[in-house]
Chain A
């Protein structure tokens, strides 16, 4: 009965210490939300903020040799460390930008922050999974929390619609993913990522089994839904537009990063033997995702919706790194995710700050003349948009440089050319926002919100990230590359 022998060691707990802290605080915040009354409930946000800061601490203790915890369920390597840092940064920024946003929109406080913390823990589990079951567990912890978060503005029909759409399609996606995992298990007889790789490497018959190929296809579809790759992107614009802005920022950066982390684990750790099958498939998906995302974004009149399509396109750029593969390509994705987190959360923070209760002010027309009404906020927005467009000296440029150089190195010249041409097209719609902000006269009767301290702090941190990664990326590059090298 070797199978059922479970040994739990001390270092197993260290492996999930960050998640544990977040979950413990999630429960605490939930309780606090009940105990505190009225205005006092705002403090739940500060508690959540504290949780994200505190959760950094255990990371310092986990820098040793990579190992697997909980009998091969959780990997403790630099890769998972990297993503934990990323999710903590994302969580921290999202809470900062939520503090006033939730108060303004009257969102129930306790639940909101508790769900945020839970979703972060789920993302971390996904990124550090060593086993398909752990991966799926992480995915569901994250997803279910986010279904609820998307619909947390119960009185807003669009928010409810977003939640419902996201839930239905997300459930489908989970189904596909689970089916893919099942077929993989059926072929190889194991759920452990590295064991799957060993089985596939040692047995040529497994590699060509239809069951396995179909399983692979289902996995791609499942991840494709979560990453909003074309043609599995249909839900994205409506959900991103309808969800509370802070949650949209969280979804566009956090969920995407978690899905990429899981996908990197599954495809590069477990299924490298099938590379011949999935590489060409992802090539097509990358081109379709970039192109369609950008072309549709060109026509958007709503900034939030434009950012939703732009996030589709960015997933396409990241996929370029995936197709290129190699250390360079994979490290490129990691770097890209970090850069994207800063610039995208920054952009959404500005969008959130410009809105008011009952007037989200997300239409392009609402941005007319913002450059002269809120000069600092507009400068920040301009920096984030230039970064999203990939103009130096910003993080967005370095990130694109990274993934496209990986593509060129791997010999995917056409992919790189299509990628850079796409980013030239994308420049147009980012510039459009700036055209409205700076080149148009302010419209009468549009009242915009005022930047608060927390919101301003979120923007300042994001600005720092955009320039740090754009001008002095060395440290992050080294980190991303080491993370890939240490990947179990």
Chain B
């Protein structure tokens, strides 16, 4: 009953882009329109298939759905274990949705190697969706690492002037973080095998591994660093502005919209459920870093003179909210956190698209070189306004729902954090509105801006779905929440139930304890 018409839908959604990429390898290089159309078709079909996931997803059921579980490397207990709950479902939808828009937005922006560009994007899509579905730690790690390759190429080949530096920095930062996670995964695997005699990398089995507090903390730290680099949380964020600024527009959209979510998703799906007690202990650490991220990100945004850098730093701030809500461990906090992941994907993705559109026209992103654009590009200005307001979290837009829930949930857990976080909202409004004022309003100071053409049909088609989403998510959040209500409630129950369950180091060896654990 999990599978619609006996089709392993999850695998199809995951690997369809890969199949598309392999087919594209054989496409004749000169037929550029054909290549673009094909890539658009693949992402569109993938999006429609993921809508099928959304429709057939049984929101009342606890646990994973569309599960596929096949042994893969028997010798090590690695299996091809895929499945989604309400949390991953929405992130998959976000991925397939943004991919369509990214391909659309690349239509005229990419000048060289369109074939390789599209192949890289399709490979990336498979990696991202796989990351959100994998329930086996090795499988997850493989998808996780695999996304590095196409993103590295996208930044490095089609990026801006400092692209090589940014691409290598992106790759090395993420890889350095994730290799430590690999050691932690292995340690966990052997701990589990020692305690239960069963060799497996299955997430749910490993969640039950008995551990001492010290072990939990160490392993949690290894996972947390890998994910925190990806999010990115405050001291690990330095790769982000470089990568964002140098990446091509669609690369920035996917980077901000989806890749960063892989970090936050990693916390929710892996780091916290695997090590609930350690996560509980880490609340003050993570929350303080998240708060620093919120405020620091906003302040640095305010000082940027480059539009793309401003949006990049605003990501640090927004993702701080996501982490804050997640570590409140309350229903509202976690729901808001997940909702904010989606919001950020939509709004920041849209901001990058808009910045890309103006960059295509003017070949500059400096705030100072604009001014009064609302007069020459009214359509563009309207879209920009709506998206910016959603990013500020104006009531009625998606951003409001997320940030409000996060602050509400955090307040119930720790009022001080919530109050500090709330100041971030003000800073956010400040830098966004100030930027809007300087770019859109006032007199046209630069003669080059007088003859800018407004958005064309394709660009409007790219932005309309986003505006619809902004209001839909802002006005009818119930539509999305009902898909994740059960999953989040179950997640919180599980995590909280096991927060106190640690082995006391003085209580004897692992083996003796595990008998009781089972």
Contact = CB atoms under 8 A, between A and B. Distances in A.
A89 to B, nearest CB: 21
Interface in B60-113: 72-76, 113
Interface string A345-377: 000000000000000000000000000100100
A376 B145 CA distance: 23
A420 B182 CA distance: 8
B186 A404 contact: yes
A408 B176 contact: no
Contact of A439 (B76, B116, B141, B156): B156
Contacts of B171: 427, 431
A372 B113 contact: yes
B186 A435 contact: no
B149 interface: yes
Contacts of A424: 172, 175-176, 179
Given A392-B142, A435-B164, A477-B75, A413 B113 contact: no
A421 B172 CA distance: 10
B48 interface: no
A393 B171 CA distance: 16
Interface string B141-158: 110011011001100110
A391 B183 contact: no
A431 B168 CA distance: 7
Residue with the greatest number of chain A CB neighbours at <10 A, chosen from B75, B171, B176, B189: B75
Contacts of A372: 113
A441 to B, nearest CB: 11
B153 A438 contact: yes
Given A397-B145, A408-B190, A439-B164, A416 B73 contact: no
A473 B73 contact: yes
A409 interface: yes
A421 B142 CA distance: 17
A443 to B, nearest CB: 16
The binding surface of chain B is classed by DSSP as helix
A207 B176 CA distance: 42
Interface string A457-488: 00000000000000001100110010000000
Interface in A386-401: 386, 391-393, 397, 401
Interface string B405-445: 00000000000000000000000000000000000000000
Interface in B164-187: 164, 167-168, 171-172, 175-176, 179-180, 182-183, 186-187
B145 A392 contact: yes
A393 B142 contact: yes
Contacts of A409: 186, 190
A391 B145 contact: yes
A428 interface: yes
A416 to B, nearest CB: 5
A128 interface: no
Contacts of B175: 391, 424, 427
A269 interface: no
B73 A477 contact: yes
Nearest to B113: A372
A438 B76 CA distance: 37
B180 A408 contact: no
A405 B186 contact: yes
A423 interface: yes
- Chain A's interface size range is 20 to 34
A157 interface: no
A417 B176 CA distance: 11
Interface residues of B, number: 34
B163 interface: yes
Interface string A402-418: 00110011000100110
Contact of B149 (A391, A401, A405, A423): A391
The binding surface of chain A is classed by DSSP as helix
Given A408-B190, A438-B153, A439-B157, A416 B183 contact: yes
Interface in A448-464: none
Nearest to A438: B157
Nearest to A411: B190
A474 B72 CA distance: 8
Contacts of B187: 408, 413
Interface string A97-126: 000000000000000000000000000000
Contacts of B113: 372
B202 to A, nearest CB: 16
B75 A420 contact: no
Contacts of A478: 75
A427 B175 CA distance: 8
Contacts of B180: 417, 420-421
A393 B75 contact: no
Contacts of B172: 424, 427-428
Contacts of B179: 420-421, 423-424
B247 to A, nearest CB: 13
Contacts of B167: 435, 439
A428 B183 contact: no
Nearest to B183: A416
A430 to B, nearest CB: 10
B156 A474 contact: no
A397 B145 CA distance: 10
B142 A416 contact: no
Contacts of B168: 428, 431, 435
Contacts of B152: 431
Contacts of A423: 179
A386 B189 contact: no
Contacts of A421: 176, 179-180
Closest 7 CB pairs of A and B: A420-B179, A392-B142, A408-B186, A424-B176, A477-B75, A405-B186, A424-B175
Given A397-B142, A413-B187, A427-B172, 10 more contacts: A391-B145, A416-B183, A416-B186, A417-B183, A428-B172, A431-B152, A431-B168, A439-B157, A474-B73, A481-B75
Interface of B: 72-76, 113, 116, 138, 141-142, 145-146, 148-149, 152-153, 156-157, 163-164, 167-168, 171-172, 175-176, 179-180, 182-183, 186-187, 189-190
17 contacts: A391-B145, A393-B142, A404-B183, A405-B189, A405-B190, A408-B189, A408-B190, A421-B179, A421-B180, A424-B175, A428-B168, A428-B172, A439-B167, A474-B73, A474-B74, A477-B76, A478-B75
